Structures are given as structure tokens and as C-alpha cells.
């Protein structure tokens, strides 16, 4: 392979910025710095239902096993920090056919900020492929990933100087705080690496204190089985009884440890319009979500990360949130859900009915 021109890295960074990425840096290829900690985490079984995390742990820890001949890893960050929309001054627009009209009374649910807009996977993957075209023109062989590849991406983001791994295990960026996505490209091109930024958490433990279920068992140690994000998104079965009250009115994910980070004071609003909050994020009540059938669910969440959860898992979460915050006005909808053909929905609806009646 011919040696790439010395200004190629600058061209890559400029192209990444032009594609909407907020930072772009290069890490060297080596075994991940937290590979042994990751292996211990897998051995402890704290990955829960995420069985794919326990497969091929060495391959996940060593990028050279993913792309033979890899010489560098390009790591990008994309800001998704969007603000909640102001309350509407006019009536909501009519809902699409087959969906309930938003605006009914009742408690609302909370959705993690990363899922307010369009699914970032497809958006970032498409732009990474465009960046790969530039690398291929200089003779490189590439593999791009956005959460889907066997790469311990936060280790390499830290190696590249793209922030550092916080005590919550979430990556922290000095200018973006915690509100950003990571993507990476493995390449056979010998690009010069950037320098690490270093760990700047200091003595702060706000993220650990903020966790509602004490899922952060020690700095940079996460028991996924206790994490509300895991339980509402990745976990396929019933929400364990011991965590249902802690769920509060969350219906998809949890931002508590992210929001607690003091580095978010430097965060700025995202320039990516695709991440803007959809109407249902702040305009729908839990009762309205409970009225979705399969077609309505797919229509409402088309292009959203939430669609991947599917209706049973999402309405399971909605039922728990209603059990925690609902009123007698929500009971008719819950009684309907309690006879849903899907056992997961029916069981959680019955639990919610019992909780509301107990409070009454």
C-alpha cells in the first residue's frame, strides 16, 4: 500500500465536520485498555439479556481481529442535545390515520433524550460510509460501525482524545458533555493518532449518586441488570418487581446519570435537525400510548429508535409508568390492556391497576 499524503488526516477531519460530526479524531490499533475489566464484567454475568456481549470477547477487545491489517481507528462524535419544545399555543394537528388524537388528560411519560428524534444508527452509518469513500480513494480498506460492531468504542474514543470514560461508564466530552453519539471506522491506512485528553472526573461521584437503582456499583462498573435503560430497552421479559417503583414515569431509557454530569454545563444545542423532538415525546399522555395497536405503534415510531423495542415491550413500560403515576381516569384503558393477547402487556397492566387502586 502506498503511503497516504500527509494532509489526508486533515482532509478526513474536515470531511467529517462537513458531514455533521462534531468531533473527529484518530486512535491507534491495539488491545482495548479496559479489555480485562470487560472480561470480568462478562464473567460476572452483569450483561443480563445482552448475550451478544459475551460472544467473541477477544475479538471485541482487539480491532485487529475485526479488520486484519487495521492501522488506525477514526472515532467521531455527533451531538444530540436538543431542547424540549415550547408548549404549543395552538391545538395539535390531527393525528395520522389509525392513531389516537393527542391532547387527552392524564400523566405523561419520559423518554430518554437520545430517542426524541430519528434513529441515529441509519443517519450516522450513512455518513460514515461517505467518509469511507474518501479513505477508499487513497487505497484504504474500511469497516464503519455505529453501536453494531464488535468494538469497545469508548476505550478508543478516550485513546483518540475524544473525551474520557466517566464513572457511570458513559463517555464525557469537554465540549459536548454526555449528550453525543459515537461512531468509528477501522481502516488499513496508517493515519497518525491523536493524543488522549485524560480523565477529568476527579472526585466527582454525581452520576453514581443519581442512579435510581444503584446500578453503578463502583466507578466504571455497571450492573446492567439494575439499569433502568437496560430494563426498559434491552430486557425482553417482565420488569422485576423490585425495580418497578424506581421506574417512575420513564417509558424508554433513563438519563439520570447523564444529566447529573457537571460537564454538561458546556454542552450546546445540536445542529442536526433529525434529532429534534417528535410531537409524541412531550405531547402524548401515557393513556394515549396505551391505545396503540401494532399498526399504530409502527406508524407512530417509524424511523425512531423506539420502534426497535416493539409494541409489547413499550406498552409493558407504559403500564408500569401508569402504575406509578396513573389515576382512576386511566383504569378503563388499563382494564383493556389487562386482556391484551400479549401476556407481557396484560401482566403489567394488571399490576398497574392494583397499584392505582391501592393508592385510591
CB distance 26 to 73 below 8 Å: yes
Distance CA 81, CA 269 (A): 5
Alpha-carbon dihedral sign for residues 83, 87, 93, 98: positive
Distance CA 20, CA 275 (A): 12
Distance CA 132, CA 127 (A): 9
Q: Which of 23, 40, 122, 147 is catalytic?
A: 147
122 is catalytic: no
Distance CA 175, CA 177 (A): 6
Q: What DSSP letter does each residue of 109-134 carry, written as one string?
A: -EE-GGGSSS-HHHHHHHHHHHHHHH
Distance CA 151, CA 63 (A): 7
H-type alpha helices, the chain: 8-18, 35-43, 57-61, 120-136, 153-159, 206-210, 228-229, 241-244, 256-259, 279-283, 286-290, 294-300, 310-325, 331-337, 343-359
Catalytic residues: 147
Amino acid at each position: 500500500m502506498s503511503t497516504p499524503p500527509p494532509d489526508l488526516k486533515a482532509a478526513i477531519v474536515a470531511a467529517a465536520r462537513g458531514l455533521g460530526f462534531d468531533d473527529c479524531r484518530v486512535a491507534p490499533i491495539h488491545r482495548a485498555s479496559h479489555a480485562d475489566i470487560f472480561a470480568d464484567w462478562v464473567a460476572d454475568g452483569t450483561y443480563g439479556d445482552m448475550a451478544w456481549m459475551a460472544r467473541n470477547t477477544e475479538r471485541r477487545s482487539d480491532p485487529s481481529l475485526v479488520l486484519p491489517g487495521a492501522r488506525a481507528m477514526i472515532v467521531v462524535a455527533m451531538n444530540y442535545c436538543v431542547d424540549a419544545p415550547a408548549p404549543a399555543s395552538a391545538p395539535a394537528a390531527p393525528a395520522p390515520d389509525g392513531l389516537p388524537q393527542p391532547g387527552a388528560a392524564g400523566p405523561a411519560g419520559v423518554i430518554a433524550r437520545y430517542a426524541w428524534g430519528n434513529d441515529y444508527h441509519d443517519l450516522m452509518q450513512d455518513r460514515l460510509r461517505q467518509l469511507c469513500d474518501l479513505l477508499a480513494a487513497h487505497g484504504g480498506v474500511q469497516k464503519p460501525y455505529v453501536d453494531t460492531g464488535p468494538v469497545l468504542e469508548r476505550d478508543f474514543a478516550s485513546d483518540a482524545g475524544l473525551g474520557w470514560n466517566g464513572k457511570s461508564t458513559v463517555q464525557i466530552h469537554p465540549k459536548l458533555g454526555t449528550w453525543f453519539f459515537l461512531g468509528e471506522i477501522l481502516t488499513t491506512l496508517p493515519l497518525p493518532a491523536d493524543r488522549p485528553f485524560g480523565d477529568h472526573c476527579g472526585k466527582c461521584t454525581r452520576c453514581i449518586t443519581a442512579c435510581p437503582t444503584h446500578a453503578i456499583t463502583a466507578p466504571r462498573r455497571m450492573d446492567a441488570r439494575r439499569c433502568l435503560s437496560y430494563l426498559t430497552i434491552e430486557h425482553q421479559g417482565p420488569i422485576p418487581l423490585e425495580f418497578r417503583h424506581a421506574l417512575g414515569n420513564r417509558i424508554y431509557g433513563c438519563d439520570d446519570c447523564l444529566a447529573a454530569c457537571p460537564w454538561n454545563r458546556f454542552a450546546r444545542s445540536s445542529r442536526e435537525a433529525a434529532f429534534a423532538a417528535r410531537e409524541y415525546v412531550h405531547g402524548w399522555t401515557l393513556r394515549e400510548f396505551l391505545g396503540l395497536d401494532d399498526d399504530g405503534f409502527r406508524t407512530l415510531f417509524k424511523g425512531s429508535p423506539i420502534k426497535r423495542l416493539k409494541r409489547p415491550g413499550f406498552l409493558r413500560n407504559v403500564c408500569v409508568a401508569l402504575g406509578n403515576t396513573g389515576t382512576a381516569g386511566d383504569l378503563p384503558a388499563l382494564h383493556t390492556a389487562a386482556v391484551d393477547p400479549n401476556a407481557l402487556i396484560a401482566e403489567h397492566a394488571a399490576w398497574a391497576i392494583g397499584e392505582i387502586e391501592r393508592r385510591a
